[in-house]
Amino acid sequence: MFRLGNLALLESSINRNIGNATYDQKSVAYRESSYALTREVPEIAPEEWNLALLDKRQREFALKSTRLWRSDFA
Domain ranges of the chain: 7-68
SS3 43: helix
Q: Is the dihedral of CA 46, 51, 22, 3 positive or negative?
A: negative
Please give the pLDDT value at position 74.
Answer: 61
10 and 29 Cβ atoms separated by less than 8 Å:
yes
Could you report the per-residue pLDDT of 29-69, keeping only the tens digit for each? 999 999 999 999 999 999 999 999 999 999 999 999 988 88
pLDDT band at 19 (very low <50, low <70, confident <90, very high): confident
Question: What is the reported pLDDT for 68?
Answer: 86
User: Quick check: 14 and 26 in contact, CB under 8 A?
Assistant: no
Cα 13 from Cα 10, distance rounded (Å)? 8
